Amino acid sequence: MKRQANEKSILKIMTSNLEDGALKKDFVLPEDEKVPASDAVITDEQKAVIADAVKDASTGYIQGGADALRELSTVLPAAAAKECLQEAIADSQGGLDMNQLVRLGLDLFTTSEQKEPVKYGLSIIEVFAAENMPVPLKDLIRISAMYHEFTPFAVPIIQRWNYAEQILSGLAMITSDEASKIIREMTGK
């Protein structure tokens, strides 16, 4: 069953707040209901949750993997989970269904109603990022890069595309000062 972004998904909120190809000047996403401590450090138990979620999704149980990661995102910020999440995928590539893991990343990225799971989704998508990604997905990633909380997760994906430098330069000109600063720091420009 294919899930569609609902009216409350972060991505749907962002796309409905575009004006002339950029997020509206005063646009701010609502705060997440449960916000993990920014200084949280990943535990062995949380690493096991990530590994299990990746394995579940790989077997086709996308919803179970996504639900586990959404729950984890309430206590563990994506910045702390990113490396472990990407390693869980990379370390098991031979035995995992990569197409299912792409679906897991897309589910988290496109349907989540909280910001942290969107970041988890972008972290997964980064593993598979390539120039030949579908244009509509590229557009959604560009839109997410316009919001400062997603910028650090979207820029590494965009950097794998042809003309990444031009795309990121253009984004830096139309994003908020905070997002623009992150883009410049990440690209060295």
Find out whether 153 and 122 touch, Cβ atoms under 8 Å. Answer: yes
Q: What is the pLDDT of residues 96-136, one digit of tens each?
A: 888 999 999 999 999 999 999 999 999 999 999 888 889 99
What confidence score (pLDDT) does residue 2 get? 42
> Residue 170, class by beta-carbon neighbours within 10 Å (0-12 exposed, 13-18 middle, 19+ buried)?
middle
Question: Given pLDDT bands bounded at 50, 70 and 90, which one contains residue 1?
Answer: very low
pLDDT at 141 over 50: yes
Q: What is the pLDDT of residues 2-52, one digit of tens each?
A: 445 556 899 999 999 999 999 998 899 988 888 888 888 999 999 999 999
> Residue 79, class by beta-carbon neighbours within 10 Å (0-12 exposed, 13-18 middle, 19+ buried)?
middle
pLDDT at 72 over 80: yes
Rounded to the nearest integer, the mean pLDDT of the chain is 91
Find out whether 182 and 168 touch, Cβ atoms under 8 Å. Answer: no
List of residues 6+ apart from 160 with CB closer than 8 A: 129, 130, 131
Mean pLDDT of the region 53-67: 94
- Residue 30, number of CB atoms within 10 A of its CB: 11
Nearest residue to 21 via CA among 145, 151, 111: 145
What confidence score (pLDDT) does residue 119 get? 97
Which amino acid appears at position 122 of this protein? L
Mean pLDDT of the region 54-63: 94
List of residues 6+ apart from 19 with CB closer than 8 A: none
Three-state helix/strand/coil letters over 112-174: CCCHHHHHHHHHHHHHHCCCCCCHHHHHHHHHHHCCCCCHHHHHHHHCCCCCHHHHHHHHHHH
pLDDT at 148 over 50: yes
Can you give the pTM of this predicted structure? 0.92
- Residue 184, number of CB atoms within 10 A of its CB: 13
Q: What is the pLDDT of residues 156-189, one digit of tens each?
A: 999 999 999 999 999 999 998 999 999 999 998 7
- Residue 10, number of CB atoms within 10 A of its CB: 27
What confidence score (pLDDT) does residue 39 get? 86
Q: Which helix (H) or strand (E) holds 18?
A: strand 18-19
